[in-house]
Amino acid sequence: MSQPLNHRFQLWGWIIFIFSAMFFMAASIRADDPVSLVGGLLFLVACFVFLVPLVAEIMEGSSSLSRLRKYSRYPRDWFRAARSLSRAPGAPTMLPALERPLDQIQQHQARSGLRSFASTR
Closest CA to 4 of 73, 65, 72: 65
Which class for 51: exposed (0-12), middle (13-18), buried (19 or more C-beta within 10 A)? middle
In a domain, 90, yes or no: no
Q: What is the pLDDT of residues 8-43, one digit of tens each?
A: 888 899 999 999 999 999 999 999 999 999 999 999
Quote the domain boundaries for residue 4: 1-85
The count of structural domains within the chain is 1
In a domain, 39, yes or no: yes
Q: How much helix, strand and coil, in percent to the nearest 5, is found in the chain?
A: 75, 0, 25
In a domain, 32, yes or no: yes
Q: What is the pLDDT of residues 111-120, one digit of tens each?
A: 777 777 677 6
Q: What is the DSSP letter of 73?
A: T
Per-residue pLDDT band for 85 (boundaries 50, 70, 90) equals: low
* pLDDT for the residue 121: 57
Instruction: Spell out the residues 6+ positions from residue 79 whose beta carbon is closer than 8 angstroms to its own.
Output: 71
In a domain, 28, yes or no: yes
Q: What is the pLDDT of residues 102-113, one digit of tens each?
A: 677 777 777 777
97 phi-psi bin (left φ>0, alpha ψ -120 to 50, beta other): beta
In a domain, 61, yes or no: yes
In a domain, 112, yes or no: no
For the whole model, what pTM was predicted? 0.48
In a domain, 121, yes or no: no
In a domain, 7, yes or no: yes
* pLDDT for the residue 86: 55
